[in-house]
Amino acid sequence: MHPEYPSQPPAQTPYPQAPAGYYPPPGYWQPKPPSSALRIAAGVLALIASVVGIMMAGIFLFARHGGASTPFNGWMNFFLIAGSIGCLVTGIVIMAKQRKRGGSTPWLVTSFSGLVVIACLGFMIGRNSGLPGAPIMILPFALATLVLASLVVVKDKQGQIPR
C-alpha cells in the first residue's frame, strides 16, 4: 500500500469546527444549521390563527347585533384583535428566521397566541359574543400555536450552554 493513497477516505464532518478564537474573514461561507420543524409549524399555525381571528374580530365589530356592548366584550375583542395582529406579524418573522436559535420571537408568538386563547375563553364564558361558534373555531389554532411556540422556547433553552 502506498502512503499517498490510504485505503479509507478521511472522515468528514457535516459542519467543520473552527479552532477556538478563529474568526473567518469577511465573505467566508459558513454552513447554516438545519431548519427547525417546530418553528415552521408554529409560524404556519400562527398565521392561520391570525387570519381566522382577524376575520372573526371584524365580524364582532361590524356586524349588527354582534353581541352585548359591555366592557368585558370590549376587552375580549381588544385581546382578540391585538393577539391576532401580533400572531400575524410574529408568525411571518418566525418563519423568516426559521434557522435561528434563541431570540425573543418564540416568546412573542407564545404571548400573542395566549391573548387569543384568553379572548376565546372569555367569549365562551360570557356567552354573548354574537357569534356562538366563532370562539370554538379560533381556539384550536390558538392553542396549537401556544403549545408549539412553547415547545420551541423549551427546545431553544435546552440547546443553550449555560455560562
Residue 36 has a pLDDT of: 80
Hey, is 132 helix, strand or coil?
coil
pTM of the complete model: 0.73
Domain residue limits, the chain:
47-159
Rounded Cα–Cα distance for residues 78 and 82 (Å): 6
pLDDT bin (cut points 50, 70, 90) of residue 53 is very high
Question: 3-12, 48-57, 114-123, 124-133: lowest mean pLDDT where?
Answer: 3-12
**pLDDT surpassing 50 at residue 161:** no
Burial pattern 35-58, b for ≥16 Cβ within 10 A else e, equals ebebbebbbbbbbbbbebbbebbe
What would the mean pLDDT of 59-67 be, rounded to a whole number? Answer: 72
**123 or 142, greater pLDDT:** 142
